[in-house]
Structure formats: C-alpha cells, structure tokens
C-alpha cells in the first residue's frame, strides 16, 4: 500500500515537471523566435500578425537590432539630389523654357518672294508717278477691254479718298521688308503673323479691284493686273511656307 502511494506520488511529480518543462519551452519559443516579415517583437509578448516594421528592424535572440535603411535619394533633372525622394529640388521644380521653333525656309524660296516683292514695288512706284503726273502708261491701249487710262482715272481708283496706286506702294514697301531673307531668318512669330495678315488684306483689295474692273468699269489695266498677280503669288507662297515649314515658336521672356 505504501509502495503504491509512493509510486503514484512519483508519477504525479514527473507529470508536473514535464508540464513545467513544456510551458517553459513554449514561452522560450515565443520570446526567441525571429519575425519573418520584419516586425519588431517586444520582450515577452507575441508579434501581431501582418504588422511590418517600417524601419526594417530584425529580432535576434529576443534582442531588437536596428537595421540601417538605405538612403532614398532621387536624382533630379537639374543635377541636384533629393534626399527625401518625395519632393523635387528647386532646379527640377523650375520649368524649363521652351526653345523656339527654327524656321527652315530654304534660301531660294526667300529670294523668290523677295524678288516678287521688289517687282511689285517697282510697278507700284510707276503707277503712283503716272497717277500724280497724269501721264499715259507705256504699252497700254486706250480702247477695248484693255484700257489703262479708263481704269486709273475712274472713281474706283480711290479707296477712302486715297489713290489705289499709293495704297499699293505702301503695301509693297512693307512686303519688301517682310519678304527679305533677313525677315525670313528672323525667328519671330510676330513677323510671320504680320506677313500672313498683310497678304490676306492685300488679297481682299485685289478681289475688290478685280470686281470693279470687270463689272463696274468694264476695262482692265495691264499694270494693275500684274500687281494683282504678284500679290496672289506672294499670298500662295506665304501660306505654303507656313504649312510646309511651320511658324516660329513663341518667344519667352
């Protein structure tokens, strides 16, 4: 009976010791395990599931080890380095100025438009002199459909009280400047727009004068017709240049 009691006591103590060792090993496993997903484990507490340590700490033997995170440096276009990697530097924030477009109109095209403008200027000078001196135009008949005197002395030869010959002279003086090679190479958008606008206005006068000659006066003038043809050619060439080679870009201050 005594032996049986002592045997049961030993078995109870053995079970108690085994339970204590099992509890100790479980607590040691919880405290000494490393967090696989980078979470920081406090001493004696279990790590929360899914929590990630933003600073990148590791756990070794229940000891928190601070890992050096690599610097987040971002290179910017201006050559500076943004240490934070979230905001650009002052050079990168500054907007880069746009380079104006370069006009690539060939030289032969520039010379053609300039020679046409000089020819129109020469005819306009001659018509202006003939208007104020009331002299007969050379090589122009005085009867039939071609009658220069009838056209140049008609009421339609004045627009707003100004002789059409003087208006043509002013137009071609501006055209000679705008169609010169120096103006074509001058990389200014305003010059290109003025060139196109002046020819649009010139074509408006040409259409009006053609209507007046054919339907009101009933005669045409060879010199006036040559001026009309030159204006039309300059208009077509200028529009073609804008479509083929484009307009210069806007200038930034």
Give me the mean pLDDT over the 203-223 stretch: 94
Give me the mean pLDDT over the 233-247 stretch: 95
Dihedral of alpha carbons 167, 172, 174, 178, sign: positive
Residue with tokens 């018509």: 127
Report DSSP state, residue 48: P
Give me the mean pLDDT over the 43-57 stretch: 38
Give me the mean pLDDT over the 205-221 stretch: 94
Asked if pLDDT for residue 137 goes beyond 70, the answer is yes
For the chain, what is the radius of gyration of the CA atoms?
47
What are the structure tokens assigned to 119, written together?
């020819």
Q: Output the pLDDT for position 16.
A: 74
Of the listed ranges 55-69, 131-145, 191-205, the one predicted with least confidence: 55-69
Helix (H, G, I), strand (E, B) or coil at 159: strand
pLDDT band, very low/low/confident/very high, at 106 (cuts 50, 70, 90): very high
The reply to whether the predicted model has a pTM over 0.75 is no
Domains of the chain and any CATH numbers: 107-244 (1.20.1440.130)
Give me the mean pLDDT over the 127-140 stretch: 90
pLDDT tens across 87-103, in order? 444 454 444 444 444 44
What are the structure tokens assigned to 162, written together?
């100004």
pLDDT band, very low/low/confident/very high, at 104 (cuts 50, 70, 90): confident
Of the listed ranges 2-16, 29-43, 185-199, the one predicted with least confidence: 29-43
Give me the mean pLDDT over the 33-56 stretch: 38
What are the structure tokens assigned to 228, written together?
């009309």
Of the listed ranges 87-101, 112-126, 155-169, 187-201, the one predicted with least confidence: 87-101
Q: Output the pLDDT for position 25.
A: 61
pLDDT band, very low/low/confident/very high, at 33 (cuts 50, 70, 90): very low
Whole-number average pLDDT of the chain: 75
What are the structure tokens assigned to 52, written together?
């990630």
Q: How far apart are CA 71 and CA 90, in angstroms?
A: 20
Q: Name every residue whose Cβ is closer than 8 Å to that of residue 168 and which is 6 or more positions away in sequence.
A: 120, 123, 124, 127, 128, 227
Asked if pLDDT for residue 169 goes beyond 70, the answer is yes
What are the structure tokens assigned to 83, written together?
């240490």
How many angstroms from the chain centroid is the CA of residue 54?
42
Backbone dihedral angles phi then psi of residue 63, each to the nearest 5 degrees: -115, 130
- B/e letters for 41-58, b = 16+ CB within 10 Å, e = fewer, are beeeeebeeeeebeeebb
pLDDT band, very low/low/confident/very high, at 224 (cuts 50, 70, 90): very high
pLDDT band, very low/low/confident/very high, at 44 (cuts 50, 70, 90): very low
What are the structure tokens assigned to 238, written together?
């200028």
Helix (H, G, I), strand (E, B) or coil at 63: strand
Helix (H, G, I), strand (E, B) or coil at 213: helix
Q: How far apart are CA 237 and CA 231, in angstroms?
A: 10
- Of residues 95 and 107, the one with the higher pLDDT is 107
User: Which stretch, 81-85, 186-190, 219-223, has highest mean pLDDT?
Assistant: 219-223
């Amino acid at each position: 009976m005594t032996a049986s009691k002592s045997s049961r006591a030993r078995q109870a103590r053995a079970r108690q010791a085994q339970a204590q060792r099992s509890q100790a090993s479980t607590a040691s496993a919880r405290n000494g395990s490393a967090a696989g997903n980078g979470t920081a484990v406090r001493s004696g507490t279990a790590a929360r599931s899914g929590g990630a340590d933003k600073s990148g700490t590791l756990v070794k033997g229940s000891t928190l080890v601070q890992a050096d995170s690599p610097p987040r440096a971002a290179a910017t276009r201006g050559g500076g380095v943004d240490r934070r990697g979230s905001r650009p530097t002052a050079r990168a924030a500054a907007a880069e100025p746009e380079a104006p477009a370069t006009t690539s109109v060939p030289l032969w095209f520039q010379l053609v438009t300039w020679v046409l403008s000089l020819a129109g200027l020469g005819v306009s000078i001659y018509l202006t002199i003939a208007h104020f001196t009331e002299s007969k135009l050379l090589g122009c008949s005085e009867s039939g459909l071609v009658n220069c005197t009838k056209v140049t002395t008609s009421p339609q030869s004045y627009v707003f009280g100004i002789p059409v010959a003087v208006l043509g002279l002013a137009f071609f003086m501006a055209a000679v400047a705008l169609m010169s090679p120096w103006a074509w190479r001058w990389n200014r958008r305003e010059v290109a727009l003025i060139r196109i606008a002046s020819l649009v206005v010139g074509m408006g006068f040409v259409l009006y004068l053609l209507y007046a000659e054919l339907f009101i006066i009933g005669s045409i003038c060879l010199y006036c017709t040559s001026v009309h043809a030159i204006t039309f050619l300059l208009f077509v060439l200028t529009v073609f240049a804008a479509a083929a080679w484009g307009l210069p870009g806007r200038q930034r201050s």
